[in-house]
Structure 1
């Protein structure tokens, strides 16, 4: 048996190409399973793929500077856990026992800041990092988020925790969680565009449930800094939609492109910023037989699986040069869940590949 040579050049067509026995007519029907799975789905069903809509709007909590100083031991370096587009990030322990992540930057008090925080804190979903509230004092602006103890996915696949063995099934579940988070943002009315989706902005908790971080943060920064265009605020270039680079206009399909790069990083175990060859490989619409060249050596044993091929095909579809020809995030969720169902049906050993890691929260003292 060999790969069907007539596979089209589009990611969507590539996604549905599979290894078949030409003598078996019954196998031919499976070529169209991906698209048939979407037929008959109502708009309301698809809009809820990302998870249930948030409950009644929640009021953003206003934290005092003194409260946050106590939580972080006066923003001690021992509690400094990172730095992002908003500023330095500290781990804090509130008096009620809640562990939080505090993002801190210099900035004069702005009503626009409060308005944006109130909106963003009302968005709740299992696969989104929750924004609890804010602080504006002494020319400082702070955002207080839930603390996600296991850190970013980037740390686990090519960063400081990359020795962790994440099997394909584990990476697939991470992809599903992140996709649901993005799909939920896009299901809002009007849709909320992430604008800075990347592997470093997907966090995992102690159960390795993926949570998308910094949702809406670019909008907030653009509003309070009055940056002229979004391009001035953008971070990692390799995750940026080429159409955005040309037009300066961001769309839902721009987030989809970024998600495609995320999928490529998941399957390759490499940073696209350090090695852009995987993106060039995918954009050339490669034949599946050449996919081994980008697959993480830890996943080589999974390369021959149908799920792996569909996963790579989905990534190729997401980074199609034309935004109109990319899938929606609802479609991405559906396809990932189909892949997961196939993988589960092929698994006979319960608990195979469950990662064992050191929690990031254990590395810092509150």
Structure 2
């Protein structure tokens, strides 16, 4: 048997080496590709489940609730079945109110979170989803957070964080008035300051978010009596999805509306400032703005707009206020109220200035109406306002 030629042996060896090299290159390429895909998924840029959570169509009831990244502030899409379970099928037992958007229910989600769910009938709307995603991105300590939404079976729902202690209006003149301790002037000042911070934050957004429906009913307090502005942007959402603004009747009956809005229909930051002034007026008087002043035919709003001096302050102050406040503090508070309610929007302060003034008044009240020790300056307590008026 003859040996194979040397050239054939060399050629075979070279072929084997080339084949091994090709295999090594293929293995290396596959490993590199898999590593790249893995890195892309970790960054969240190509993970199909995360992309589904970001797409508008992801709220389909067929696929259930879409998980969002833990650090996301996007509105969570809920399905009708989930919110039905949370509210015992929207039972009257869980009905806690009626607002401009619709009925409001208290709900308990499967993860133990308590929420407030606003429900109305309305056809599916892309505008609704876009507005909800924008409003849910607004987060502030003194603004009620919009957490999620549902749009199914010709129903639209908004899911908000639940604020347990209700509205400021219910504590001032509603059925759930708190103890006299909660009605102290310092408590009311603190509520006013926190609500002002919430409204100032909305005005500081780019572009500014005008509330357009700021009332005492739309300021809620939590279990620690921290005030939060509710329904921010809700009027905008309703007008966009209904392609119509509020009725002229509702506007005419709303004591919180700026006279310039009534006349021209134009909202601005200064129209919110006017509404905030009416809120301050209700805080200090403990009465609704439509009610009458004792022994007078003037409404509270007209009284504040005609306010010139402190000679008739006693007629406006809530008699449930304890006497642990200063006459100077009350006068400054009412003066600020009158400034906010100036008929001319140009003469009203902006909300940042309102925050500064309220902070100053509260700081002074806290220092002057605490237990007075030796060396503490004597102050004129508010009770002397009532004594002087008799």
Alignment TM class, shorter chain as reference? 0.7 to 0.9
TM-score, normalisation: structure 2: 0.73
Question: What CA distance in whole angstroms lies between the structure 2 residues aligned with 1:163 and 1:125?
Answer: 26
Give ranges in structure 2 of 5+ residues lacking alignment.
1-70, 293-297, 373-390
Structure 2 counterpart of 1:18: none
Question: 2:133 aligned with 1:118, yes or no?
Answer: yes
> CA offset at residue 300 of structure 1?
6.0
1:285 maps to 307
Which of 124, 131, 156 pairs up with 1:109? Answer: 124
Please name the residue that 1:46 is paired with: none
- Tell me the equivalent position of 2:107: 92
Contact 1:101 1:146 (C-alpha < 8 Å) held by counterparts: yes
Query: Greater relative contact order: 1 or 2 (C-alpha under 8 angstroms, separation 6 or more)?
Result: 1
Distance 2:229 2:245 in 1: 26
Residue 96 of structure 2 aligns to a residue whose secondary structure is strand
Q: Secondary structure at the match of 2:143?
A: coil
Q: Once superposed, which parts of structure 1, at least 4 consecutive aligned residues long, lie more than 4 Å away?
A: 228-236
The answer to whether the aligner puts 1:206 opposite 2:223 as a matched pair is: yes
RMSD: 1.8
Per the TM alignment, residue 286 of structure 1 is displaced from its structure 2 partner at its CA by: 2.9
Q: Which moved more, 1:297-306 or 1:143-152?
A: 297-306
| 1:96-138 residue CA offsets vs partner (Å, 9 max, x unmatched) | 0000000000000100000000000000000000000100001
Matches within 5 A, 1:180-329: 180-228=197-245, 231=248, 234=251, 237-275=254-292, 277-299=299-321, 301=323, 304-329=326-351
Give the structure 2 partner of residue 67 of structure 1. Answer: 82
Measured after TM superposition, the shift of residue 289 of structure 1 is: 1.8
Deviation of residue 231 (structure 1)?
4.8
Residue 315 to residue 176, structure 1, CA distance change in 2 (3 Å): same
Q: Is the 8 A contact 1:186 1:192 kept in 2?
A: yes
Q: TM-score, normalised by structure 1?
A: 0.78
C-alpha contact 1:195 1:250 (8 A) present in aligned 2: yes
* Separation of aligned partners in 1, 2:359 and 2:197: 10
- Give the total of aligned pairs: 295
Q: Which runs of 5+ in 1 are unaligned?
A: 1-55, 351-366
